[in-house]
Amino acid sequence: MFFSSPFCGTCKVAERMLDVVQAIGVPFTIYKLNINEAIKLRSDWRISSVPCLVLIRNGEPERMEYAMRSVEHLLQLLKEEGSS
């Protein structure tokens, strides 16, 4: 799940990178959520800033990635997660 804010320029760049990753193909769907509309989830999962990509397993956050370095990095991260 990708958390962002509509007022965050870095979030827009990260979202474009995730769109490319999704087009290339990853083994699951990437859901996008405005952090301002997910107050309880933000609090429960202790999301400290945006952009934040939360990798979820069995309904629980397994890993949080705050640094969206590159399309290549995100693709590798998601492929690794999908194969584990």
- HSE (CB half, 13 Å, CA atoms) of 33? 18
Residue-wise pLDDT tens digits, 1-47: 999 999 999 999 999 999 999 898 777 888 999 999 999 999 999 99
pLDDT tens column, 35-79: 999 999 999 999 999 999 999 988 899 999 999 999 999 998 888
State residue 83 phi and psi, 5-degree precision. -90, -10
| pTM (2 d.p.) | 0.88
Tell me what pLDDT residue 80 has: 79
The confidence score (pLDDT) of residue 82 equals 67
pLDDT at position 29: 84
Q: What is the pLDDT of residue 28?
A: 80
Q: Where are the domains of the chain?
A: 2-83
The pLDDT score that the predictor gives to residue 84 is 61
The whole-number pLDDT of residue 78 equals 87
Q: Which CATH class is domain 2-83?
A: alpha beta
Residues with Cβ within 8 Å of residue 79, at least 6 apart in sequence: 26, 27
H/E element, 52? strand 52-57
